[in-house]
Structure 1
C-alpha cells in the first residue's frame, strides 16, 4: 500500500475515534478537559500499544504533532455540534465501528511494513483497532466491549483473515483495503442490529 493511502486511513481513523471518545465522555458528563483526555486515549491508545510492541519508537503521535492537533480540533468541533446531535449512543456506535475498521487495517499494514507474519499482522490490527476503546472504557469505569459482549475483536480478526484471503486471489491492495474496512463496519452493524454475540461461559 502506498504511504499516502496509509496516512489517509490513519487520519480518518483518528477522526473517527476522536469523535467516538468525545461522545463517550460526554455521555458520562465529564468536564471539557476530561472529554479531551478521553478523545486522545481513544484515538492514540491502540496505535501506541502497537508501536511499543514492534519497537517503532518514538510512537507515531510523538513524531507528528499534527495528529494531536487533529484530535484536539475534532473533539472541540464535536463538543460544539453536540446540540445538533440527539442520538449520542447511535453516533458513538457508528464512529466507533468506522474507527475499528480503519485502525484494524492500519495495524495490519504496519505489521507488513515490518515484515511480520500474517498472524502477527492480524493481531497487531486487532490491537490497533481495539485497545484505544479498552483504555477509554476503563477510564470511564465501564467493562470494555471487547471483554463482555458483541463481536468486537472478532470482527477485527475476521477482517484480517479476509484481507489476506483477498490478497491471495491477487485483488488490488486499495480495493482489498476498502473491502475489509467496509466488512468490519457492516459486520458490527449487523451484530448490534440482531443482538448477536459469542457464547458466554457461565460457572
Structure 2
C-alpha cells in the first residue's frame, strides 16, 4: 500500500518535471503530455519491453497514464508556483527514484531472472524516464553528469535483491531500501557527490 502511494506521488512529480522541460522547448499540449508521460512511466515501459513483461504497466493500469497527463497539463497553469518549490521536487524525485528502482527489481524477481538482471531492471526503471525526457527535449542527460543518480538506483537494486534473497520480510526490505536510497541521494545532492568524469580532448596531428 505504501509503495503504491509513493509510486503515484513519484510519477506525479516526474510528470511535472517533464512538463516543465517541454515548456522550455515551447511545446504544445500534446508535447507536454508526451514528455510528462515519458518522464514518469517511460522507465517502467522500457523495462517491460526489454524483459518481455506484458502487458505494459500503464496498459494494465491506465489510470497511471491519466495521472501523468493531467499532472502535465496542470503544470502549464501553475508552472511559476511549481518552480518556486524546486527543493520539494528534489525530495519527491529522490523518493520516486528509489520507488521506481524497487518496483523494477520486484518485476524482474517475479519473472525469476538472475540477480544481475534484477539490478539492471532497477536501474532502467529508475533512470530511463529522465533519459527519455532529456532526449526528447534535446538536453544533455542529467542522470549521466550530475550528482549520483543512476548509481543510487544501482545500490537500491542490490540492497533490495540481497535482503529479499536472505529472507528479510518484504515490508522491512522495502522500508530499509527506501530510507537508505533516499538518504544516499540527498547526501549526493547536498555534498555534490559524483562519479569520476571522463573528459577526452581530441588532439590534432600534423
TM-score (normalizing by structure 1): 0.85
Q: Is the 8 A contact 1:38 1:136 kept in 2?
A: yes
Q: Is the 8 A contact 2:10 2:92 kept in 1?
A: no
**Deviation (angstroms), 1:90:** 3.1
Alignment partner of 1:155 out of 134, 152, 155: 152
Instruction: Report what 1:115 is aligned to.
Output: 112
Look up the SS of the partner of 2:112 in the other structure.
coil
Alignment partner of 1:38 out of 35, 39, 48: 35
Partner Cα separation in structure 1 for residue 11 and residue 24 of structure 2: 20
- With over 3 angstroms needed to count, the CA separation of the structure-2 counterparts of 1:67 and 1:196, relative to structure 1, is same
2:62 maps to 1:65: yes
Deviations 1:51-96 (A, max 9, x none): 1111123422123321211112222333333343443643443332
Instruction: Report what 1:105 is aligned to.
Output: 102
Deviations 1:86-122 (A, max 9, x none): 4364344333222211110110000111011222111
Q: Is the 8 A contact 1:24 1:92 kept in 2?
A: no
Once the two structures are superposed, the pairs formed by residues 129-144 of structure 1 within 5 Å of their partners are 129-144=126-141
Instruction: Report what 1:195 is aligned to.
Output: 192
Larger CA Rg, structure 1 vs 2: 2
Q: Is the 8 A contact 1:125 1:156 kept in 2?
A: yes
Alignment partner of 2:178 out of 156, 160, 181: 181
Q: Is the 8 A contact 2:15 2:40 kept in 1?
A: yes
**Deviation (angstroms), 1:15:** 2.1
Q: For structure 1, which segment, 8-17 or 123-132, has the greater mean C-alpha deviation from structure 2 after superposition?
A: 8-17
- With over 3 angstroms needed to count, the CA separation of the structure-2 counterparts of 1:95 and 1:137, relative to structure 1, is farther
Alignment partner of 1:128 out of 125, 129, 140: 125
Structure 2: tracts of 5 or more residues without a match:
201-206
TM-score (normalizing by structure 2): 0.84
Partner Cα separation in structure 1 for residue 188 and residue 43 of structure 2: 22
Give the superposed CA RMSD. Answer: 2.4
Q: For structure 1, which segment, 94-103 or 165-174, has the greater mean C-alpha deviation from structure 2 after superposition?
A: 165-174
Partner Cα separation in structure 2 for residue 40 and residue 111 of structure 1: 22
Q: Is the 8 A contact 1:12 1:102 kept in 2?
A: no
2:195 maps to 1:171: no
**Length, aligned pairs only:** 200
Alignment partner of 1:11 out of 8, 13, 16: 8
